[in-house]
Chains A and B, each alone.
Chain A
């Protein structure tokens, strides 16, 4: 079997989404660094892998993929036999619940949490910019409304899609990990079931390994 190549960086949130899947299923892969500061993501070589000039991209033999959630589904499906089943594709209703909460992550959770992470961490540390507090405050209010829904849901269900850990949970990791390094991490303290959910799945070995790569260069 040829080695899977993942193009990206270990600190980038969408690359982390795929790294977690590869580690969960125990796949052999090579992480090929793409340098954003030098504009490598917009080079012809990388645009041939991801026409939107973003990371990650994945190459498996003659198949080239982009969009981290689509790549995640591919990896988890391919290696289903050798790792945990995080998609539940053999069960119509379970797989539908994974799909629902993966969409919620993309459409509700991410749009609220990512501007907070960008303003308070990425902008000052990578670009020397000043955080826009209005953007942070507006999105904190949005995030709290989303967390209200998550709290109610996780009071009834151990994980997002049901009693099983799935891609829906995993997909929340990277932005939430960075959020916990911002001054606003204490927001989660008001949501005990959300907090317990976070602490539970971050204790997984794959998460500990990938998390180490997220902070090593800071």
Chain B
């Protein structure tokens, strides 16, 4: 039956999973799920009880939560993006994955929602929210700049899932007028360019632009 991802690849959390499938070279199928009523349908709630995307299926095994799905795929394919052969390095991957969710995504998400999503769905953009969250994002980027001045990638001198997990939201910010916020952080910019050079990420840019 193979691997199936439920959701639209343009959505950041779905993109995370598709990116990892591309990284490991798995065969997979994307099953689109309509926003609105289909998310709360019994069929989808059976895949993701919170009525969100993505959901994932590997033969009969069902998962949800994009980072949990990604870890499963990486472990199944014995990818070194988790660095689980080295407990210290694996832990640093986990630290920066949690930073991505807990520190980076909150301000990034508000900026993306206002600058990209609201105009599409016809809602009024909250400029104050964008401005407040740009300030928060800058404080986070200061920490990243300091970290990436000490080592090439977040968990060390090796690229990991922690770095790649930043791709979906960062790519979306780069589609907005606020991408210039990264210009003040040269090590962060270099890190982003290294991520963008990966074949799987180039493939993701094609997928997300479709």
Q: Which residues of A contact B (CB under 8 A)?
A: 51-52, 63, 65-67, 69-71, 73-74, 77-78, 89, 92-93, 95-96, 99-100, 102-104, 106-108, 146, 149, 152-153
Contact = CB atoms under 8 A, between A and B. Distances in A.
B68 A96 contact: yes
A158 B76 CA distance: 26
Interface stretch (B86-94, B111-119, B187-195): B86-94
A153 B45 CA distance: 12
The 6 lowest CB-CB distance pairs between A and B, nearest first, are: A99-B68, A103-B65, A67-B98, A70-B94, A96-B72, A100-B68
B146 interface: yes
Contacts of B92: 65
Contacts of B91: 63, 65, 70, 73-74, 77
A102 B63 CA distance: 13
A70 B72 CA distance: 17
Contacts of A107: 65, 101
Contacts of B72: 92, 96, 99
Contacts, number: 72
B94 A67 contact: yes
B63 A69 contact: no
Nearest to A62: B88
Interface in B27-68: 49-50, 61, 63-65, 67-68
Interface of B, secondary structure class, is helix
B174 interface: no
Given A77-B91, A149-B50, 6 more contacts: A67-B94, A77-B90, A96-B72, A102-B68, A103-B68, A104-B65
Contacts of B61: 93, 96
Contact of A96 (B71, B99, B143, B147): B71
B122 interface: no
B137 interface: no
Interface string B136-169: 0000000100110000000000000000000000
B67 A99 contact: yes
B79 interface: no
15 contacts: A51-B143, A51-B146, A63-B91, A65-B95, A66-B95, A67-B95, A70-B95, A70-B98, A77-B90, A77-B91, A92-B72, A100-B68, A102-B68, A107-B101, A108-B50
Contacts of A93: 61
A95 B71 CA distance: 9
B179 interface: no
